[in-house]
Amino acid sequence: MKAFLGTGLLGSNFVKAMLRRGDQVQVWNRTLSKAKALETDGALAFEEVTEAVRGAAVIHLTLKDDAAVNEVLEAASVGFEFGAIIIDHTTTSVEGAVERTAAWKAKGFTYLHAPVFMGPPNALEGSGNMLVSGDQEVIARVEGELSKMTGKLINFGQEEGKAAGIKLIGNLFLISMTAGLSDALALAKALDIDSADISSLFASWNPGAGAPARLDKLRTGDFSKPSWELDMARKDAGLMMSAASAKGVKLTVLPAVAAEMDAWIAKGHGSDDWSVIAKDNC
């Protein structure tokens, strides 16, 4: 028997996939109707979280944040089976993941943080990426369980909380990328270029494909052999901001990047590769 706490878009599809694999799943959600909706798929829904976890050897969670995880687990613990394994897919702080691992171990339970880069369709299909780190014996025990849920299980080693940190870093990149796309669409609007043309551009030229190589270049910390000089990149940024300003279009990300470029030019790095703006973080 499994339990799943938190049946929003992601959690509900995880549950549906489990049921399709023949698992018995007991579910709970703060909004009872979301849990009850899964009964048509074969789940058992409970109004009380203590009842939802009763008899479950494995308890999965997809909740909002650290506070929600702590509150729900504490409330549910009255119904825990001795030695139950708690697998938390919530995006949380590093500190929270580390503290919960130790706290639940002290109480006789196994807690593993396993955040995901998966949307609801991935949860239903068993695709996407799931991250783990920490006690390798624990991970080995649940690897089969987790591998069924995701296309790829990525193990970052012994360090408790590392998976939580990697998830936050990945989410930061996703936020930054989407904000950059927002600026690209804003500039297209200012230049009277249809967004469909931008889509066609990225379908042929995928800048994201170069991310691993660009990251490796940043990690070397050598900006003395420019492929795009900072002075030239700043000139281009100025053209972009001027075009947007002329049409009253707001850019969100680029002005902050341009300000950082100006600071590095003032320090004498105008002829370096423009990525020198990341030097202090490498």
pLDDT at 26: 98
Number of domains in the chain: 2
Kindly state whether residues 20 and 150 are assigned to the same domain.
yes
CATH of the domain at 9: 3.40.50.720
Q: What share of the chain is helix, strand, coil (3-state, %, to 5)?
A: 60, 10, 30
Nearest to 23 by CA among 149, 114, 150: 149
pLDDT at residue 148, as a whole number: 95
Strand order in the sheet with 25-28: 44-45, 25-28, 2-5, 58-61, 85-88, 110-113
Alpha carbon distances (Å) from 204 to 3, 18, 172, 191, 212: 45, 38, 25, 21, 19
| 40-69 residues labelled b (16+ CB within 10 A) or e (exposed) | eeebbbbeebebbbbebebbbbbbeebebb
Catalytic residue among 167, 189, 235, 267: 167
Q: What is the pLDDT of residue 208?
A: 86
List the 116-117 sheet strands across, edge first. Answer: 116-117, 129-132, 152-155
Whether residue 12 sits in one domain with residue 113: yes
Percent of the chain scoring above 90 in pLDDT: 96
pLDDT digits (tens, 9 = 90+) for 195-204: 999 999 999 9
**Do 140 and 60 sit in the same domain of this protein?**
yes
pLDDT the model gives residue 282: 82
Q: Which residues pair with 85 in a beta bridge?
A: 58, 110
The pLDDT, as a whole number, for residue 165 is: 98
Final residue of a domain: which of 102, 126, 157?
A: 157
CATH number for position 205 = 1.10.1040.10
CA distance 103 to 74: 11
Which domain, by its residues, includes 244? 166-278
What gap in Å lies between CA 112 and CA 125, rounded to an integer?
22
The token pair at 278 is: 């990341």
Q: Are residues 210 and 243 in the same domain?
A: yes
Q: What is the pLDDT of residues 95-116, one digit of tens each?
A: 999 999 999 999 999 999 999 9
Q: pLDDT truncated to tens, each residue of the chain (282 aa)? A: 999 999 999 999 999 999 999 999 999 999 999 999 999 999 999 999 999 999 999 999 999 999 999 999 999 999 999 999 999 999 999 999 999 999 999 999 999 999 999 999 999 999 999 999 999 999 999 999 999 999 999 999 999 999 999 999 999 999 999 999 999 999 999 999 999 999 999 999 998 888 999 999 999 999 999 999 999 999 999 999 999 999 999 999 999 999 999 999 999 999 999 999 999 998
Q: Does one domain contain both 180 and 247?
A: yes
Beta strands in 33-190 (DSSP E): 44-45, 58-61, 85-88, 110-113, 116-117, 129-132, 152-155
Residues 183 and 124 in one domain: no
- So what's the pLDDT on residue 255? 97
Active-site residue flag, 167: yes
Structure tokens at 176: 């930054």
